[in-house]
Chain A
Amino acid sequence: MIETAAIFAFLCFALSLVMNLWKVVAADDVADRILALDTMFINAIALMVLYGLALGTEIFFEAAMIIAMLGFVSTVAYARFILRGNIIE
């Protein structure tokens, strides 16, 4: 039962990543593009944790944590660059 549910969740998040990628390509505004990239980071964290659950290892939690931190920092940096023209004043 867990296998079936895990495969379902894998498919859901993979399809989400494809939709986010479509939105990154087809966005009509730069803020939409940042939003789609941020969603891609979050979906990548979910895929990482699912992969760790499927294999039964804990190595992937560190990778997921690093992706989470880099995603937050890069989103804030993009947004600040558009708002203010530079990142660190």
Chain B
Amino acid sequence: MDMFFDIIIAGFLVIGGIFGIVGSFGLLKLNDRMSRLHAPTKATTLGVGGVLLASMTHAAVYEHHLSVHELMITLFLFLTAPITANFIAKVHIHRHDTPESLPDAGQDKVWATHKKPENEVIGPEV
């Protein structure tokens, strides 16, 4: 039975390591700015998830207690990874795209990152 859990923990560790290295290699290798955003935010988060699963199984099998610290880290990481990705994508759009070069925003007139507040005075008009 120990052999079975050994294989599971080692599998989680190897999968996590491979996902982590794929994410960082994608950050180096991909050419386009926006596609470069995908590799670290998805693959590396999955790699950390694999390591956390391995740590949880290890605590349950070899140290004979349920460890829920990992669940907190997992929850926090999987909640915040999309938010950071969204912020960095907004930085890309804001710095490199004009409102004309972006696709149609549909019902809204412009994309949110180009939208100026209506009552704000822009420039030295005071």
Binding site for B on A (CB under 8 A): 1-2, 4-6, 8-9, 11-13, 15-17, 19-20, 22-23, 29-32, 34-36, 38-39, 42-43, 45-46, 49-50, 52-53, 56, 58, 61-62, 64-65, 68-69, 72, 75-76, 79-80, 82-83
Contact = CB atoms under 8 A, between A and B. Distances in A.
Q: Is the interface of B mostly helix, strand, loop or mixed?
A: helix
Interface string B73-90: 100110011011001101
Interface residues of B, number: 54
A20 B14 contact: no
A-B pairs, top 4 by smallest CB distance, nearest first, are A12-B17, A16-B24, A5-B10, A61-B69
A5 B9 contact: yes
Contacts of A30: 91, 95
Q: Is the interface of A mostly helix, strand, loop or mixed?
A: helix
Contacts of B23: 16, 39
B60 interface: no
B33 A64 contact: no
20 contacts: A2-B9, A12-B20, A13-B20, A15-B21, A16-B20, A19-B25, A23-B27, A34-B91, A35-B27, A43-B44, A49-B48, A58-B59, A62-B69, A65-B72, A72-B76, A72-B83, A76-B87, A79-B91, A82-B94, A83-B87
